Amino acid sequence: MHEITNRLKLILFTLTVFIISHNLSAQPKDTENTKSQIQWMQIGYTSNVLGYGVNKALNKVFWAGRVHIKQGLSLNYQRNIFYYKKFFAMDWGVNASVWQTSGKNPDASFPETNFFTFSVFPVFRINFIHTQYWETYLFYTVGGPSFISKTTLDGYDVGKHFIFMDNMGLATFFGNKKQYNIEMRIGHYSNADLFPPNYGIKVPLTMHLGYRF
């Protein structure tokens, strides 16, 4: 299973490089399939108040983790680099987050742990509602290289300070100029077995609010 995960990340990384290269080398005749590059900022809050049911429901298509996040705050910058016929888009982004674990461990003596992460990541978006004032999409972030400030959380060794960030969720732009953004996501951090052990970090529902400019 871990080998499949690593291969998937490699395939998606290759696809990312291909799309970026295609976009940078596009001729004027291709501009009808693309639109102006947009960028937006988001602030997000994570909480396990509603539990980890969404993570569990999606565990066939998304990763879990032994370390459970209790709450967190995130600041996100995202920029569009490819937009195809109002259907598919790809972005790159930067994320800085502070987290608190749930202390969930068979040994009750482990306290909650605070740590922070910094990530650079690609985003793949599938737009399925597109009107004058709305653009709703599913998105998937995979294999975003990240720095994590601590390598032992709730008694679990998550490897080295280098780790990967993954997210998936549902979001929409809305407003007269589609300048507002709201997003719901779940997340995951792991080292993809580069530095065993690889217990992983499970991030519950996170809400992001953003503004496009």
User: What whole-number distance in Å separates Cα of residue 191 and Cα of residue 143?
Assistant: 9
Rounded to the nearest angstrom, the gap between the alpha carbon of residue 65 and the centroid of all alpha carbons in its chain is 15
Residue 17 has pLDDT above 60, yes or no: no
Q: Are 7 and 69 in contact (CB under 8 A)?
A: no
Extents of the domains making up the chain: 2-27+34-212
Return the pLDDT at 103: 85
The arithmetic mean of pLDDT across residues 34-51, rounded, is 88
**Hey, what amino acid is at 15?**
L
User: What whole-number distance in Å separates Cα of residue 146 and Cα of residue 151?
Assistant: 13
Residue 142 has pLDDT above 50, yes or no: yes
What are 51-81's pLDDT values in tens digits? 999 999 998 889 899 999 999 999 999 999 9
**pLDDT confidence tier of residue 14, bands split at 50, 70 and 90:** low
The arithmetic mean of pLDDT across residues 143-168, rounded, is 94
CA atoms within 13 A on the CB side of 210: 26
pTM, whole model, 2 decimals?
A: 0.83
Tokens coding 175: 């407003």
Instruction: Judge: domain 2-27+34-212, CATH 2.40.160.20.
Output: yes
